[in-house]
Amino acid sequence: MTGTGGQGASGPADLSVPEVTIVMPVRNEASTIAIALASALLQQTTFPFEVVIADGVSDDGTRAIIDEVAEGDPRVRVVDNPERGTPQALNVALAAARGTFWVRLDGHSVVPPDYVDRLVGHLRAGECEAAGGVVRALGDTAFGKAVAGAHDSRFGIGNARHHYATETSEIDHIAHGAYRVDVSRQIGGFDTELVRNQDFDFDFRYRATGARMMIDPGVEFHRRVRETPRSLAKQFYQYGYWKYVVLRRHPASLHVRWLVPPALVTALVGATLMSWTRAGRLLLVVTASAYAAVLLAGSVTIGRRVGFGLAPRAAVGLAIMHLSWGTGFVRSALVER
């Protein structure tokens, strides 16, 4: 490393031409924004960078915190996001970006000091046009820790390699990665109609330009999970709902794993409605028994990693994730026509 925070040994870098823009979409993040912003500003890089924060009309004191930091640090700029949504925030920040590359962080992100440098390094070396690290889930409560284990397990997220990749390779989707600004603008930024899954939609269109996307397992991004069953169910219902919307737009993006949760929900509901028949009862028993076996295997596997005392909560977390996602997907298929 030749510098810290974009400054070289000979003095402050020329901030009029930052090579990288760190983008932070925020709204009502007063409890975490100071730590997240400090994490962004403490990045140790071999190039100058700026931080563009898109504030979605925060009313909890977030704006005062980021304005104070911006007044004392010329690397920080704040732009308004009057529409408040995440894709809108990403778009206004992308429009304001002065860098050649941009990296997405959030108002509750905490990343290691070399996070930006390592990801952007792949792009600067010409190895790819986008790069991301492995997502690791974090939980605070007993339920949250169990859910974090489920997030990091194939029982929870199937073959989504950005959760468990062990080798550097090309991939079709990254989380909180580094991208080229010109390509991002070329494809029109983020789809503002997508409440969720706008990042996958963006990555699909980004790769359609011929851009290569890389996963670097040596870089980790820590993401906090929902700490209650209700909030987890709401989150995964939305994931499933908006995944179907994106799939309708991009049928070629289909992964077989996406069809498993809706198939499970359909089988369980259908069998329950037909339970007055022998065939319905048989289907219900077979489906429920098979799924119970999957939950048992999943909870034991997760328990080995996070502690067997959390295995029952892991089973509950897995069931909520699967069934809520599947229900959202089915619901979306029925109404999004």
Q: Look at residues 191, 149, 188 and name the one whose alpha carbon lies nearest to residue 307.
A: 149
Domain boundaries, the chain: 3-226, 248-335
Amino acid of residue 84 = R
Q: What is the pLDDT of residue 160?
A: 62
The yes-or-no verdict on residue 11 having pLDDT over 50 is no
The H or E element spanning position 133 is strand 130-138
From 110, 56, 64, select the one nearest 87 (Cα to Cα). Answer: 56
CA angle 155, 104, 148 (to 5 degrees): 25
| Residue of 169, 93, 165, 171 lying closest to 136 (CA atoms) | 165
- Helices 62-72 and 33-41: crossing angle in degrees, nearest 10, is 30
Instruction: pLDDT band for 110, please (50, 70, 90 cuts).
Output: confident
Distance CA 134, CA 79 (A): 29
pLDDT at 162: 61
Give the torsion sign (CA, 153, 235, 37, 47).
positive
Q: Calculate the average pLDDT of the chain.
A: 90
Q: Which pair of tokens denotes residue 290?
A: 């098979």
**pTM of the full predicted structure?**
0.86
* Residue 15: predicted pLDDT: 55
> Is 77 in contact with 49 (CB distance < 8 Å)?
no
Please report the pLDDT score of residue 158 as a whole number: 60
Give the residue with greater pLDDT, 283 vs 159: 283
Q: How far apart are CA 177 and CA 196, in angstroms?
A: 17
Q: Strands 178-180 and 130-138, how do they pair?
A: antiparallel
pLDDT computed for residue 336 by the predictor = 75
CB 108 within 8 A of CB 100: no
pLDDT of residue 169: 83
Q: Which helix (H) or strand (E) holds 316?
A: helix 311-335
Pick from 162-171, 190-199, 257-266: least confident: 162-171
Report the chain's terminal Cα–Cα distance, integer Å: 53
Structurally, at CATH architecture level, domain 3-226 sits in: Alpha-Beta Complex (3.90)
